[in-house]
Structure 1
């Protein structure tokens, strides 16, 4: 099992920025995509992340979109939100967006443990759609062992792998079962056993 690396996310973010008609920083590129996602009322993936990982978040968003998934990032779709303010209005809007999403992918980085919102988003979505949560560790090396906060071990993880014929794919894996990332992101309940 190989995890995604921070370098892969940065490369995807840079490619996204390079494709942009203007040279923005990572947060600027996410904001620029507002027009293309604001009309969506449903999302395949709610991307739970630390605001301190803007470049990595852009890269993961890009990687997920390359897999054909629609992705909600709060400061992309709802740029007026202030993640540093914990209030009822922000919480209610996030509840709406969580309910509009088929799955939640929690980006586990060194910064995620400092987030005010990530544990709340995870808990809300787990209560709303328990089979729709997965953890995507972003590590320095794809062969590195993922050791996140203890409660994250309750959830399946997103990782790269390959079939016996050598074809590469992205999987969501839990003990004894797996599914394709795209199926997971689109809310498929179809787990396959090993």
Structure 2
């Protein structure tokens, strides 16, 4: 089992920027806004700390590369001001969470100080219990994750090795209960696969 590292995620961001040739990060974000303006549903609501923009962009690149539609507030709704907790912002986020099949909680050192992330997690848990995954970003390959105590209530998003080689993103239930492939998880297929002994 393996977590994503900061270097892997930042490399995904750099690769995306290079694919766009001369496009800057703001230009890429504007293109993303135009592309998602008419979206009425998302596979993943990505809960994250606003200070982690480079990491968020890389995670988005990785997840969209898997064919998943990802909601990120400052990309899909740039008019929101994450710096202020307002009723208007909360209403928009509630609407977007209702339009999302799952919530992935991107945990980093910055997420501990986020004012929005615990609220998003709690709201979504009440809305769609069973479709929340915690995605730790670690400093180095093989790094461990403990996180805030309440995050232990939810399964982790990890890469699991495949029998024929390579890895696949999975949502791993706590206490070794099994796993679900991430794409199945976000599409509502709740079958938990057992780990082979």
Do these two structures clear the TM 0.5 threshold for a shared fold by scoring above it? yes
Offset of residue 58 of structure 1: 0.3
Residues in 2 aligned to 1:21 and 1:87: alpha-carbon distance in whole angstroms:
38
Q: Who is 1:30 aligned against? A: 29
Post-superposition Cα deviations, 1:119-165, rounded to whole Å, max 9, x if no partner, equal: 00000001111111000000011311101111111110011111233
Residues in 1 aligned to 2:29 and 2:108: alpha-carbon distance in whole angstroms:
19
Q: Who is 1:177 aligned against? A: 178
Q: Who is 1:188 aligned against? A: 189
Gap change, CA 1:55 and 1:134, over 3 Å in 2 = same
Residues in 1 aligned to 2:39 and 2:30: alpha-carbon distance in whole angstroms:
15
Gap change, CA 1:152 and 1:31, over 3 Å in 2 = farther
Unaligned runs of 5+ in 1: none
Residues in 2 aligned to 1:39 and 1:5: alpha-carbon distance in whole angstroms:
32
TM score, norm. by length of structure 1 = 0.95
Offset of residue 192 of structure 1: 1.6
Post-superposition Cα deviations, 1:1-60, rounded to whole Å, max 9, x if no partner, equal: 1110011110111111122254323x5533331111111100000000001000000000
Post-superposition Cα deviations, 1:61-116, rounded to whole Å, max 9, x if no partner, equal: 00001111000000111010000110110000000000000000000000001111
Does the CA-based 8 Å contact 1:44-1:185 persist in structure 2? yes
Which region of structure 1 is more displaced relative to structure 2, 184-193 or 119-128? Answer: 184-193
Runs of 4+, deviation exceeding 6 Å: none
Residues in 2 aligned to 1:119 and 1:48: alpha-carbon distance in whole angstroms:
9
How many residue pairs are counted as aligned between the two chains? Answer: 193
Q: Tell me, what secondary structure is at the counterpart of 2:43?
A: strand
Which region of structure 1 is more displaced relative to structure 2, 54-63 or 175-184? Answer: 175-184
Does the CA-based 8 Å contact 1:31-1:75 persist in structure 2? no
Q: Tell me, what secondary structure is at the counterpart of 1:44?
A: strand
